[in-house]
Chains A and B, each alone.
Chain A
Amino acid sequence: MAKKKRNEDAQLNSEISIEQRETEGLSLGTIVRRRFLAHRAAIASLIALAVITLLAFTSVGIVIGGNGSLITDPNTGRLAVDGFRVPGWWTYNWYENYDILNPGGTPTMTLWPFSPGEHPFGQDTLGKDIFARVMRGTQQSLTVIFLVGLISTVLGVVIGSVAGFFRGWLDSLLMRFTDTIIIIPTLVLGAVLGRTFGGNAWSLGILLGLIAWTGLARLVRAEFLALREREFVDAARVAGASNFRIIFRHILPNSIGVIVVNATLLMSAAILIETSLSFLGFGITSPDISLGQIISEYNEAFKTRPWLFWYPGLFIVVIALAINFVGDGLRDAFDPRQRRLPRTDGALQDLKRLIGKRRAGK
């Protein structure tokens, strides 16, 4: 009798949908990894980000330490940047003037047949190499983005979760503090502090990170307030779980979607804030450069030399988009209720099938 009942149960349980079978028997880590790898836009964006980062840091090299100002090298008599300089593989750097090759400094890059030429992104009126400048600007902007992303996410998550989980006076205190930070305009604070602490990518990134966490903290708090009342949290408590464990194993994983999406939005907002600050002349200041600063510096040449905008603008858009796509992919990968694995075949297979059908039809 009991056996028969158990058999019926087993039969009932074996009736699971095809979607479920795809994730059947896999551990959480494997599923997350597979889902992320199957998210084409996210993977493409991750590759694009990696390529851009690699290109930016290896091409013109990096400067470690120093105050970033330009000095004349006593040995060679040429301009150099203060600090320890690791040279890159690109022949030109971002601060020296070179002979103007093409009339007006137009880009030397041709797409078909592909050849970069001497100055692929063109030159400005003084003969500076725009490729080198964009690469240096990308370095600086990327530094700011990742610092802001890291600092504000950590701050926002910690403050939001403590406030939402413990509630009471701690919540009031932290949220009033958050409100105080919110009412200070980011741009003004960034401008003032940027001026005070110098237009360095690191200090700018840290400063922006210290004021950009507020929105995330509120969202995380709201998530925590909602999730801590759920019965699975009670169940964990009955089983004897500590507060620490409930926060890290039960509530935080369930708010990962909100956190990831918001963190990526923050990072793409950071590139725009950094750009606007530099554009206004408060962020990373000359002689050092950022993507925003390049645009700001050349804004009079908008009609006559558009390439001075195109390339820094293109990099801003690509970086912001790529970060958002990666965030999207992460969120989907972490959500176990996401029923379907993204398709493993692609548009190409669709096309082949379509053609195959047509042929069969004929």
Chain B
Amino acid sequence: MTTASSSSSLHTVDTDSVVTLNDVKVHYPVKEGALQRVTGHVKAVDGVDLSIARGKTLGLVGESGCGKTTLGRVISGLVAPTGGDIWMDLSAQQQLDVNRLRGVNEAEMTAQDRQMWKDLTLNSRLGSMSREKQRQYRRNCQVVFQDAFSSLNPRQLVRDIVGRPLRVHEQTSGAELDKKVIELLERVGLGAEHLLRFPHQFSGGQRQRISIARALALNPEFVILDEPTSALDVSVQAQILNLLVDLQAEMGLTYLFITHDLGVVQHMADHIAVMYLGQIVEYGPTDQVFDSPLHPYSRVLRDSNPSLEGERNRDWELSGTVPNPIEPPHGCRLHPRCPVAAAGCGWSVSDVMSRTEENSPVIFETIKTVDRSDDYNAQINFENEGDAQGFVSQLNGSVINESMHRPPEVRGASVKVSFNEVSDASLEQIQDGRWSSCIRTQERGTLPDLNKSQQVNGKEGQ
């Protein structure tokens, strides 16, 4: 009944969740000049819907700078979101309620709905729930950081590092505390002899074990693992990963595993969410996402991961570099780099400019000015008519040309371009439990073929 209205939100509605995110945004203001005027926002996380099922591991993957660490920091409460809601401990039914009620204007709610919304926000929404609840959430949600070297205070003994949360939250002290800390250390494969040592006296792997012991001190339900193994060498990585798996089985932990290492995530995660430029582009069960990705970005990510069996299919590759997160591309954010991008993917004036600069720098140099009426319509002025003709012929036959409202008009030394407006891509369920934000996949039901569109790409690459 309500699944239809939640088509834009991503939820594992069949199970309880430890954390549910609704349209979470983290925008950092960009300030310029002596007066520090805000000229734009870096959209580190831009509208993420996510639900983390209790007792499961969710892998969050993506390239550097895509916002996955920021998302982890939002969930752990280190960064306040600039928009959206974070809910803790929602049952399946409550998730459905939240989804439904978020779509309803508060003035139009029925009295019953209003009461339900009030209860939900007071009991489980981060920021509006009671202090006591907030504290409880803090206890329940712990983080293991990426850098085992800087995540331990170099001036504190292991006893203080691991025992501190216990002392604060449980008022344990003295011999009792020592006993508990030793228990924790033994749980992560260290021992009593390490109690009175400083962090610098340990190896990288041992330090990460101490980090894990600290995270486990308060018996949390949910642990955010922010690239816990990326600073370690491979043999130690395996030890730590196995330790994490053992601990999960032993203590029934829920993990959010943030990483860029696909091999690791395949080993650890039940579900996987792929992030690109602040948004989740694909979500689904790990095996299925690896077997048949439903988003070009996941496909490229999977294929670029080196494996022991030798080279995999290298046809799927991205062109160019990550776009500016201050002004992300319209439509699907991947389209300027996508190997299967088509006319409907959200092309705009900025794409024409960056494409020209990349593919035909000589023509790009002849551009004098660009008058933009909006993101989709602009007049590009050249030195002379010849250059303008050159520019248009360069565009001919490319995806960009197809996506235009009408073909580029040459008027003297200037060219008028106008594109069709495309609404921003959103995650939609493609198959049962498989979500993708690729506009073309959503139309076809499967990932588009590379070959046909590659010809288009090939032509335009000239």
Interface of A toward B, CB cutoff 8 Å: 5-6, 9-10, 13-14, 16, 20, 23-28, 230-232, 234-241, 249-250, 253-254, 334, 336-337
Contact = CB atoms under 8 A, between A and B. Distances in A.
Contact of B191 (A13, A28, A250, A254): A13
B77 A238 contact: yes
Contacts of A237: 78
Contacts of A241: 164, 168
A236 B142 CA distance: 10
B147 interface: yes
Given A24-B196, A28-B157, A239-B214, A9 B189 contact: yes
Nearest to A5: B189
B153 interface: yes
Q: Secondary structure of the B side of the interface? A: loop
A312 to B, nearest CB: 41
Contacts of B143: 234-235, 238
A336 B155 CA distance: 6
A238 B76 contact: yes
A233 to B, nearest CB: 8
A79 to B, nearest CB: 55
A234 B77 CA distance: 10
Contact of B153 (A6, A13, A254): A254
B356 to A, nearest CB: 39
B180 interface: no
Interface stretch (B198-206, B312-320, B423-431): B198-206
A348 to B, nearest CB: 32
Contacts of A13: 190-191, 193-194, 206
B165 A240 contact: yes
Given A240-B138, A250-B153, A253-B155, A25 B164 contact: no
Contact of B197 (A20, A236, A238): A20
B16 to A, nearest CB: 23
Contacts of A230: 150-151
Nearest to A255: B155
A20 B196 contact: no
B165 to A, nearest CB: 4
A16 B201 contact: yes
Nearest to A252: B155
A241 B217 CA distance: 14
For the complex of A and B, list the 8 residue pairs with the smallest distance between their C-beta atoms, beginning with the closest: A231-B151, A231-B145, A239-B165, A253-B155, A232-B153, A336-B198, A9-B189, A25-B196
Contact of A10 (B77, B191, B195): B191
B147 A231 contact: yes
A254 B141 CA distance: 27
Contact of A6 (B155, B164, B189, B218): B189
Nearest to A237: B78
B193 A336 contact: no
Contacts of A253: 153, 155
A334 B156 CA distance: 11
Interface of B: 73, 76-78, 135, 138-139, 141-143, 145-147, 150-157, 164-165, 168-169, 186, 189-191, 193-198, 200-201, 206, 211, 214, 217-218
Nearest to A241: B168
A145 B413 CA distance: 77
B164 to A, nearest CB: 6
Given A234-B143, A254-B155, A240 B191 contact: no
A235 B155 CA distance: 14
A260 B218 CA distance: 36
Contacts of A16: 201
B145 A235 contact: yes
Nearest to B152: A232
A26 B196 contact: yes
B189 A240 contact: no
B196 A231 contact: no
Contacts of B197: 20, 24
Contacts of B155: 28, 253-254, 334, 336
Nearest to B134: A240
Contacts of B76: 238
Nearest to A232: B153
Contact of A27 (B138, B154, B193, B196): B196
Nearest to B139: A240
| Most interface-central of B141, B145, B153, B211 (chain A CB within 10 A) | B153
Nearest to B141: A238
Nearest to A19: B201
B326 to A, nearest CB: 22
A249 B164 CA distance: 11
B193 A14 contact: yes
B99 to A, nearest CB: 28
Nearest to B147: A231
5 contacts: A13-B190, A13-B206, A27-B157, A230-B150, A240-B139
Nearest to A238: B143
A253 B135 CA distance: 27
B295 to A, nearest CB: 31
Nearest to B143: A238
Residue from B73, B142, B155 having most chain A Cβ neighbours under 10 A: B155
Given A20-B197, A254-B155, A239 B150 contact: no
